[in-house]
């Protein structure tokens, strides 16, 4: 197998995000040690450890064989069946304190960038503004409390950052323990 990892449109850097790591472990699907192993969530009713090589994730064979998903379809409303399949069954998921979910923009799933604190989020004002709006809709009516929460992202709560694959707009949601 090639040493070059497969490209995941909706999770372009799974090594940096910690979803895929170097390992001598054997893939539960192909039963080979490829040098890389998946290290995040996999939802299935079957009794299987979620140790899959990136190639078995990319070609969909891991999800097919074990009838599972790397992420749920929550908040993937409005995307095509092909995109839904790509994100849930052919893209590495990621760790989150709460149920991880994918964001959508321009009728496409966005690309997962990673978990970030306030400093990293502030570098993407479009995502910070969108997160402020979403948190106000969710009931954060006190502006000072909202800004305090945002300023302390990275300390008990974080933002999950995405980038639109069409227009490059950044999006985020808050994740807390």
**Residue 62, SS3?**
helix
- Which positions of the chain have pLDDT values less than 50? 1-2
What pLDDT was estimated at residue 100?
83
Residue 56, strand partner residues: none
What pLDDT was estimated at residue 96?
85
Q: Are 19 and 44 in contact (CB under 8 A)?
A: no
Q: Are 162 and 130 in contact (CB under 8 A)?
A: no
What pLDDT was estimated at residue 177?
67
What pLDDT was estimated at residue 1?
43
E strands within the chain? 20-22, 36-38, 104-105, 108-109, 111-116, 157-163, 170-176
Integer Cα distance of 160 and 171 in angstroms:
8
The single-letter DSSP state of residue 136 is H
What pLDDT was estimated at residue 95?
87
Could you tell me the pTM of the whole model?
0.91
Query: CA 111 → CA 26, 93, 114, 138, distances in Å?
Result: 28, 11, 9, 24
- pLDDT, tens digit (0-9, with 9 covering 90-100), for 119-171: 999 999 999 999 999 999 888 888 999 999 999 998 889 999 999 999 999 99
């Amino acid at each position: 197998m090639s040493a070059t990892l497969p490209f995941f449109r909706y999770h372009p850097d799974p090594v940096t995000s910690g979803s895929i790591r170097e390992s001598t472990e054997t893939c539960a699907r192909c039963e080979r040690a490829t040098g890389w192993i998946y290290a995040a969530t996999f939802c299935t009713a079957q009794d299987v450890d979620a140790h899959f090589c990136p190639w078995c994730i990319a070609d969909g064979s891991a999800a097919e064989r074990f009838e599972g998903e790397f992420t749920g379809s929550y908040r993937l409303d409005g995307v095509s069946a092909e995109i839904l399949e790509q994100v849930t069954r052919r893209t590495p998921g990621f760790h989150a304190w709460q149920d991880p979910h994918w964001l959508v923009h321009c009728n496409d799933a966005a690309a997962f960038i990673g978990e970030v604190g306030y400093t990293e989020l502030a570098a993407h004002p479009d995502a910070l503004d969108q997160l402020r709006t979403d948190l106000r809709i969710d009931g954060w009516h006190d502006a000072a409390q909202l800004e305090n929460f945002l300023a302390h992202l990275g300390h008990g709560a974080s933002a999950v950052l995405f980038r639109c694959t069409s227009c490059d707009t950044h999006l985020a949601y808050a994740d807390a323990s």
